[in-house]
Amino acid sequence: MYRIDFNKLRFLICDDNPHMRRILRTLLHSFGAREVYEAEDGATALEMYTHYVPDIVITDWSMPIFDGLELAQMIRQPESKGNPYAPIIMLTGHSEKRRVTVARDAGVTEFLAKPISAKGLYQRIMNVVANPRPFIKTKTYFGPDRRRNTTNTYIGPERRGSGEVEILQQPSLLEKARSAI
Amino acid sequence: MAKDNSKDKPGSIEIKSFGTHHVITQPNPLRKMLLRVPESDLDDPVGRAEKALAGLSGEFKEWMTIEADRLSAAHATVLREGFSDKTRDELFRAAHDIKGDAATFGYPSAAAAAESLCRIIEHAPDLSAVPPQLIAHHINAVQAIVRNRTKLDTAVVAGVLSKQLRGIADEFLTHANRDRPEHLEAILAPSIAPGE
């Protein structure tokens, strides 16, 4: 059995609603987290993301000016100076399936529909800590592999081509980002 | 299939390049945060967090009143200035926050009424053509549910009220979007929000 050592994890939460930030902070501190940074809009969150290099980002979707979807897109810039690989958990009142697809296509790692529960949040955090997915980079997408399941019975068009495999090794961008502070 | 040698060189990223895409794998930087514990481990972080949340519940009534008043204020601005991008967005955000928060605060029927209002704002083809009473009834319902929650008989009434509002709103939206299939599909799709 595994559990998460929360006191080593650094969180950034972004929500324009102060009550929801308080709830999130309470839940994360109760899990054992000590480092929880808060932003009330996407622009501030992006600045804090670069400055504090959080391990996990938890963001609302609907916010004024610069929303959670745009925040995810800004973080998922493969050429950015910051770490483009950090897990992003989208915590939102949007509860339509099509929203999940839009969030996924913006590079969001996990989607958690409100109302929030301690169990739901813990499960999402456990998922991103224990089971990170590889990242996919195409002309139009950079983010966690959107295919969570592998199946041999798929019979639709294949969006990804195959071709020759070329393997490149690069230093971890997370380490680079952290050493740059 | 290429060899996964990410474990051989800790701290390095492996990129497999294909015709149309790259698959990027990096050693899990959060793996060191996972602790192996015996089955007998009694630590219960979820239970601890639920208790902490319950400890906040004394403040929920006040928070909910603030949220409901923000919604009423946004509605008053719409009545005074009409719908613009700004007034629409503020009304939507106020309703959307209640939709997301109210169940956590112990007001699930207020969340349902707010969700119904969000659907109207999001899917009505022309907000100025929405009967003003339909919007006003949603605002009043949220206020009534929040103000009267301490009365023992109000939970059932609040549930019925929210369901009726949702029925009327859905009927309006279905008719108003009869020629907009993408909106109809969104309106009729089931919610993915966790149940109560």
Higher pLDDT, A146 or A9: A9
How many other C-beta atoms lie within 10 A of the C-beta of residue B153? 8
For residue B49, being part of any structural domain is answered with no
Q: What letter does residue B196 receive in the DSSP assignment?
A: -
Whether the pLDDT of residue A117 is over 50: the answer is yes
- Judged by CB atoms closer than 8 Å, whether chains meet at B18 and A92 is answered as no
The domain in which residue B130 lies consists of: 59-188
Tens of pLDDT, residue by residue over A162-178, are 555 555 555 554 555 45
- Below-50 pLDDT ranges, chain B: 1-10, 196
Say whether the peptide bond before residue B10 is cis (omega within 30 degrees of 0): no
The structural domain count of chain B equals 1
Tens of pLDDT, residue by residue over A47-101, are 999 999 999 999 999 887 789 999 999 999 988 878 999 999 999 998 888 888 8
Chain B CB contacts of A165 under 8 Å are 2, 16-18
Q: Contact A148/A155 with Cβ under 8 angstroms?
A: no
Domain A7-147: CATH architecture, name and number where available: 3-Layer(aba) Sandwich (3.40)
> What span, in angstroms and rounded, lies between the C-alpha atoms of A60 and A21?
10
Contact of B44 with chain A, judged by CB distance below 8 Å, is answered with no
Domain boundaries, chain A: 7-147
> What span, in angstroms and rounded, lies between the C-alpha atoms of A87 and A12?
11
Assessment of whether the complete model's pTM goes beyond 0.90 = no
Identify the three-state secondary structure at position A144: strand
For residue B194, being part of any structural domain is answered with no
Q: A17: distance to nearest CA of chain B, Å?
A: 7
Q: Contact B15/A142 with Cβ under 8 angstroms?
A: no
How many other C-beta atoms lie within 10 A of the C-beta of residue B94? 25
CA dihedral A25, A22, B52, B113 (to 10 degrees): -130
- What pLDDT, on a 0 to 100 scale, did the predictor assign at position A168? 52
Residue ranges of B 154-183 with Cβ closer than 8 A to chain A: none
Q: What letter does residue B91 receive in the DSSP assignment?
A: H
For residue B27, being part of any structural domain is answered with no
* Kind of pairing between the strands at A56-59 and A35-39: unpaired
* Kind of pairing between the strands at B12-17 and A166-171: antiparallel
CB-closest option in B11, B93, B194 to A120? B194
pLDDT, mean of residues A14-42: 96
Whether the pLDDT of residue A37 is over 90: the answer is yes
The CATH number of the domain holding residue B93 is 1.20.120
pLDDT, mean of residues A129-157: 82
Two tokens at B191? 């919610």
For residue B121, being part of any structural domain is answered with yes
For residue B137, being part of any structural domain is answered with yes
User: How far, in Å, are A128, B8, B26, B63, B105 from residue B102 at the CA level?
Assistant: 27, 50, 40, 9, 5
Q: Which amino acid is at B30?
A: L
For residue B195, being part of any structural domain is answered with no
Chain B CB contacts of A24 under 8 Å are none
Q: Contact B26/B14 with Cβ under 8 angstroms?
A: yes
Nearest chain B residue to A30, by CA: B49
Q: A131: distance to nearest CA of chain B, Å?
A: 8
Q: Contact A103/A69 with Cβ under 8 angstroms?
A: yes
> What span, in angstroms and rounded, lies between the C-alpha atoms of A2 and B45?
12
For residue B123, being part of any structural domain is answered with yes
Higher pLDDT, B173 or A156: B173
CB-closest option in A23, A122, A170 to B12? A170
Q: Which amino acid is at A22?
A: R
Of the candidates B24, B20, B30, the one whose C-alpha atom is nearest the C-alpha of residue B12 is: B24
Provide ipTM, 2 decimals: 0.83
Two tokens at A176? 């680079």
- DSSP code string of B34-60: EEE--TT----HHHHHHHHHHHHGGGH
For residue B180, being part of any structural domain is answered with yes
A contact test, residue of B4, B12, B13, B64 with most A CBs within 10 A: B13
